[in-house]
Amino acid sequence: MKTIDHWIDGKAVEGASGAYGPVYNPATGAQDTRVALAATDEVDRAVAAAKEAYRSWGTVSLAKRTAILYKYRELLDAHRDEIAALITAEHGKVHSDALGEVARGLEIVELACGITHKLKGELSTEVSSGVDVASIRQPLGVVAGITPFNFPAMVPLWMFPVAIACGNTFVLKPSEKDPSAAFRLAELAAEAGLPDGVLNVVNGDKVAVDRLLEHPDVAAVSFVGSTPIAKYIQTRAVEHGKRVQALGGAKNHMLVLPDADLDVAADNAINAAYGSAGERCMAVSVVVAVGEIGDDLVKKIADRATALRIGPGTDPSSEMGPLITREHRDKVASYVHGAAAQGAEVVVDGTGYTVADHPDGFFIGVSLLDRVPVTADAYRDEIFGPVLCVVRAETYEEAIELINSSKWGNGTAIFTRDGGAARRFQLEVEAGMVGVNVPIPVPVGYHSFGGWKDSLFGDHHIYGNDGVHFYTRGKVVTTRWPDPSDGGINLGFPRNH
């Protein structure tokens, strides 16, 4: 059986705790791999390696950092198919979706390659006679990232490339459900020339998480996951004096106005609700149908939903793969099973779906619930699976009030041909990311990702300018010097070192 160990100080390190967790192939239900679960002293070893590496990495020139990142980008691009295959094997998403995940992660590496621009400071000369004032940004030191199972490559790439580009060193704790991609990312970083200890990977469970949150040498923690855990991360990390960036869960609404192209809206609802089997924090969970369009829209979505091809992610014909675990599949199914009793109409019930040649896989079909009451569990909870709820609203005003009353504010979208309505929506809706005829408004790498309300804990969104600011701290330097008097001659062209 394959074992995934830790990556500490530039090399693979066998687990020493004696504890291992199972890693399943969701398409077959078989345990093909085990992952070492770190004890406290193993986390300490990774943090110590990062702390020692920071002594030199924190002062390495921007030119050298970016040279390594450019090489890293080349290696990731060359190995994207391999990384995607690891994701499919352990997460279950179809290969094309896994390739898309790697591509979105590459965007952030490209952002990190431009760190020389992002770290430019500000200078004011002659603020007083002979006095200049400069604002600069400097790294924090050792920082940590705790990442979820649903994007085992992309979310780590949202964090550590920006952090190390800014001069920090990093300890990554990936999900123990699908750890192979993160380990491979670390191997490729070393191949690109990243010095030992700058990037470390410790696999583990709550023991490892808690140690990172309390460790005195960890200056900041980034997290992506569910809202309850995000709240816990923020509380524990702040108690120990750390900077926190914790992205939580979501219940994303897609508002469809009567003037929208219903075929386009139905296509996009299918893509956004059922892509990656709904295991996305940006998945559309609720369609809000305004006015008389509800019946037609629901029929169009249902027709498309029942035609989807579900199977193993390695099958090129599959459009949706299995869920991550058997337990999660059963939990998702329970929302559909209980929906009718809570007042919803079950239009499509995918809970009995099976794949003939993969009888033990964690498969589930797609489900569509109509006229879902806002008091129903299927509406109130983050299901994190292929279940789409439809609610009805008579007017735009009723719809916007419904959306804004949600405790979450991650992403939302509006489908309309009316530019005035779209502009009003983007200003009035209480969410951190808004799509206009775009169902999953995940920003490109140079704009930051993050929600509002119970979808974000901490002051900074992730990647983009917010990511750079999170991984650095400002310093203002005021200077007065006599007129310079330089000596010596050197006709050589100035070089960056």
Instruction: Using the structure block, give the residue that is written with the tokens 């007042």.
Output: 343
By the 10 Å C-beta count (0-12 exposed, 13-18 middle, 19+ buried), 475 is classed as exposed
- What is the CB neighbour count within 10 angstroms for residue 107? 17
Do residues 463 and 163 touch, judged by C-beta distance below 8 A?
no
Whose tokens are 């490209």? That residue is 110
HSE-CB at 375 with a 13 A cutoff on CA atoms is 4
Torsion, Cα of 49, 52, 53, 58 (10° steps): 140
For the whole model, what pTM was predicted?
Answer: 0.95
Q: In this structure, are strands 218-224 and 142-146 parallel, antiparallel, or unpaired? A: parallel
Q: Which residues have a catalytic role annotated?
A: 281
The Cα–Cα gap between 187 and 335 comes to: 40
pLDDT (tens place) for every residue of the chain, 497 residues total = 999 999 999 999 999 999 999 999 999 999 989 999 999 999 999 999 999 999 999 999 999 999 999 999 999 999 999 999 999 999 999 999 999 999 999 999 999 999 999 999 999 999 998 899 999 999 999 999 999 999 999 999 999 999 999 999 999 999 999 999 999 999 999 999 999 999 999 999 999 999 999 999 999 999 999 999 999 999 999 999 999 999 999 999 999 999 999 999 999 999 999 999 999 999 999 999 999 999 999 999 999 999 999 999 999 999 999 999 999 999 999 999 999 999 999 999 999 999 999 999 999 999 999 999 999 999 999 999 999 999 999 999 999 999 999 999 999 999 999 999 999 999 999 999 999 999 999 999 999 999 999 999 998 999 999 999 999 999 999 999 877 655 667 777 766 66
Length of the chain measured in residues: 497
* Cα–Cα distance, 410 to 247 (Å, whole number): 9
Residue listed under structure tokens 């940590």: 144
CB atoms within 10 A of CB 278: 24
